[in-house]
Amino acid sequence: MFLTISTTGTPDRPATDLGFLLHKHPDSAQAFSTSYGTAHVLYPEASAERCTAALLLEIDPVALMRRGKKKDRSAPDAALAQYVNDRPYAASSLLAVALSSVFSSALRGVCKARPERAEEALPLRIEVPALPARGGADLVRKLFEPLGWQVTVEAVALDARFPEWGASRYVTLVLEGELRLAQALRHLYVLLPVLDDAKHYWVSADEVDKLLRAGEGWLAEHPEQKLITSRYLSRRWSLTRQAMERLELVRLADADDTDVEEIDNAVDETSDTEEKPVPLAVQRREAILDALRASGAARVLDLGCGQGQLVQALLKDARVTEIVGVDVSVRALTIAARRLKLDRMGERRASRVQLLQGSLAYTDKRLKGYDAAVLSEVIEHLDLPRLPALEYAVFGSARPRTVLVTTPNVEYNVRWETLPAGHVRHGDHRFEWTREEFRDWAERVAARHGYDVRYVPVGPDDPEVGPPTQMAVFTLTDPTTRTDPSTKEAKAA
């Protein structure tokens, strides 16, 4: 089986840098032993203008047959144990494993000789002459096009002399696009066996970790995530479910802005810990915990708790006697429960925490009587017309003594080098406010419901654009003030 990777270059950025990225010198042909044969790496062309690396995998059918005897004969790949098959010619999991073995450093994005090139998007062209595709050309496009590839795929006829026989399950594939080489190799590593829909080895629990490592940064949001996960794990339901839950955890982390590495982890240029800047998500959580400690709150609501990081942090503080996490997503609450290990938690500790399903757009009697409520990176996920309903549910109905609200400061977005101009920090954000807009909203809410409000910057407070996160601390000053839910105007009780 055969695969080529090509790129173009200029005199100051030569295409032959591909050799450094792959850790294979263009002037020599190299051979590597694998479990089922020999992998050859060679360069059909290598100049400053254009460079092509080829991976040729020679399969030993006897070795394949002998190893195949040890496998479950009922598995989807049982037929691969035969002497006569397509494995020496068609791209499959055999080629994916060879990729990870021969180009292991490139797959991880590691290149000591040219580290800056490893981080750059290169103009790439990848050709796979014979690719088994269970699902046809349409599925090939569905898998690769969302990843930024321009896809050219042609079905291979069963026999060119007899066109009436139709197409085989094989296609020729050409991918073109500007991507980091590591990204391209990870796409191939996962999707080649997915399209073949068979693996030459037993799929065990560690395959979930392999999938998530190779799928980092793209699989969680892929529209065909479920199909990819199921096929990669040979339709083993228990492993597929485990992988899907972990991918959902990643997606929720992004949606809650709690672990967005490209943005949050690059925040603190002025941090005392210069070797490893403190992620904004951590700074935000610490600011919330400090404000809760200052308020003396013992019974706390985490409204929009997501995957439960704040709940987990609050459990470590013995002064907090009761924590209630609320989220509209049942799945998010399930993941939070697993994260907190509620089923294995001691009785005394478990009595301090509960997770509730509910919408913050509706009043809920279960939320009344608490010392404090936290809305961390929540309001920006609501459509603006629904925001008054949340205001009344929290400030008018539940009425905790302290309410903490954090939200992105849109003015700071110009400091994110990875964020295109005019874009919000996450696709699910319905709005992002300036400091003035946030304060106008907070002052109106405070006046309407009998609260005082002050503001705390979270993250480096830039003298021009302010902090990346803005936090409002509301303190109840008039417990007798009530809001008429029909008018949303404050009235004296």
Are residues 234 and 435 in contact, defined by beta-carbon separation less than 8 angstroms?
no
**350 closest CA partner among 407, 396, 311:** 311
Q: Residues with Cβ < 8 Å from 276, sequence gap 6 or more?
A: none
d(CA 481, CA 399): 10
Q: Which two tokens stand for residue 470?
A: 């803005």
Residue that is written with structure tokens 């309903």 in the block: 389
| β partners of residue 405 | 375, 472
Ordered strands of the 469-476 beta sheet: 353-357, 322-327, 299-303, 372-376, 402-408, 469-476, 451-458
Report the helix count and the strand count for the chain, using DSSP H and E: 16, 16
Distances (CA, A) of 444 to 27, 379, 434: 70, 15, 16
* The length of the chain, given as a count of residues: 493
pLDDT at 263: 39
pLDDT at 482: 56
Write the DSSP symbol of residue 350.
H
pLDDT at 167: 83
Q: How many CB atoms lie within 10 A of CB 463?
A: 6
Are residues 305 and 326 in contact, defined by beta-carbon separation less than 8 angstroms?
yes
**104 closest CA partner among 50, 32, 44:** 32
Are residues 402 and 473 in contact, defined by beta-carbon separation less than 8 angstroms?
yes
d(CA 210, CA 215): 8
Q: Strands 322-327 and 299-303, how do they pair?
A: parallel
Q: Which two tokens stand for residue 287?
A: 């600011």
pLDDT at 272: 42
Are residues 175 and 125 in contact, defined by beta-carbon separation less than 8 angstroms?
yes
d(CA 8, CA 18): 9
pLDDT at 147: 92
d(CA 486, CA 396): 12
pLDDT at 139: 92
Q: Residues with Cβ < 8 Å from 204, sequence gap 6 or more?
A: none
pLDDT at 48: 93
d(CA 224, CA 236): 17
d(CA 413, CA 465): 9
d(CA 380, CA 220): 22
Q: Which two tokens stand for residue 463?
A: 């003298």
d(CA 424, CA 121): 23
pLDDT at 442: 97
d(CA 132, CA 153): 12
d(CA 413, CA 425): 8
d(CA 136, CA 25): 36
Report residues of the chain scoring pLDDT below 50. 69-81, 256-274, 486-493
pLDDT at 266: 41
Residue that is written with structure tokens 């839910």 in the block: 485
Rounded to two decimals, the pTM is 0.52
pLDDT at 36: 73
Write the DSSP symbol of residue 12.
S
Q: Which two tokens stand for residue 397?
A: 């109905």
pLDDT at 65: 60
